[in-house]
Amino acid sequence: MLKALPLHDHGLKASNLILGCMGFGGGWNRNPIGIEHIKQAHEAVEAALESGINMFDHADIYAFGKAETVFGQVLKEKPALRENIIIQSKLGIRFADEEIGVPTRYDFSKSYMLESVDGILSRLGIDYLDTLLLHRPDALMNAREVGEVFHQLKESGKVRYFGVSNMSAGQIRLLQRYCDEKLVVNQLEISLKKIGWLETGVHVNQLAARDNVFPEGTLEYCQLENIQLQAWGSLAQGLYSGRNLENESDAVKKTASLVHQLAEEKQTSKEAIVLAWLMRHPAAIQPIIGTIDPSRIQACAEAEQVKLSRDEWYTLYVSSRGVSLP
């Protein structure tokens, strides 16, 4: 059952969860794509669809482009799938070029962005992207130029909607000043472990605020402007759902135990508890699940049926932070 998401107001009937496709294509290496990688992708996509997930998140750099290429092969073999799913990708990160001594950097220049979108579409084998995000803030970003690129991509039919990733309210506001198109997404690392997005609000007028790097006002700005908050790293890399905790803090171990207890009480998966905690927040957060394991995809999808009380939500939050609220 779909809950109300900001994306719905913009015309994108997206699922509550997104399948992140970084794990497609055989990983971060230059090895060629094999039949097993395509089979694996088919199984992951099928598991997502059967679980009610219709949105898929990519980036041009994932597995050095192989993730999009493998997904494109899935679409080629099942062409009817394209019109029933929402495809999102990101651009702007350029890897280091050791031959000429250039480090990893970010690039929102007009020529690079246009070239990147053409590359994304080619690898996916599609004519348009539903959503295109700027992956990480480019220190040399010319907001007016980005706005011109977005307009050109929209006019050409190559991109339907635009958004950002890892950006603050101020950065989004600057971009929006020069963009005709409404920015509809901000994708951030937020989870039961990565709680700076909550601490920023809790620590107003508190000394502890000095140690929090989450940009103040970003959560509120996205809600005010009806910008969809997407959570990457939403499962905290399995920290509370089965990962070895031998070298982890007492807070992590206690929180993992609470997640396990709640999962047993509610007869659901640990992944579902972790994701339901995010989805309980009134900002209508849309978690991205970065797994290609069909059974884990199904376990994550159970989150849509989980109801956490206010007390349960706060118990998990306070346990994660490791100290009482001020």
Residues catalogued as catalytic: 62
Cα separation of 192 and 285, whole Å? Answer: 13
Question: Which residues make Cβ contacts (< 8 Å) with residue 270, sequence separation at least 6?
Answer: 240, 241, 242, 259, 260, 263, 299
Residue 161, strand partner residues: 131
Containing 113, the helix (H) or strand (E) segment is: helix 110-124
Q: Are the C-beta atoms of 7 and 283 separated by less than 8 Å? A: no
Q: Are the C-beta atoms of 188 and 165 separated by less than 8 Å? A: yes
From 238, 247, 239, 233, select the one nearest 287 (Cα to Cα).
233
For the chain, the distance separating the N- and C-terminal CA atoms, rounded to the nearest angstrom, is 37
Kind of pairing, strands 105-106 and 93-94? antiparallel
Cα separation of 24 and 34, whole Å? Answer: 11
Cα separation of 215 and 170, whole Å? Answer: 9
- The strand ranges marked E within 50-110 are 55-57, 86-91, 93-94, 105-106
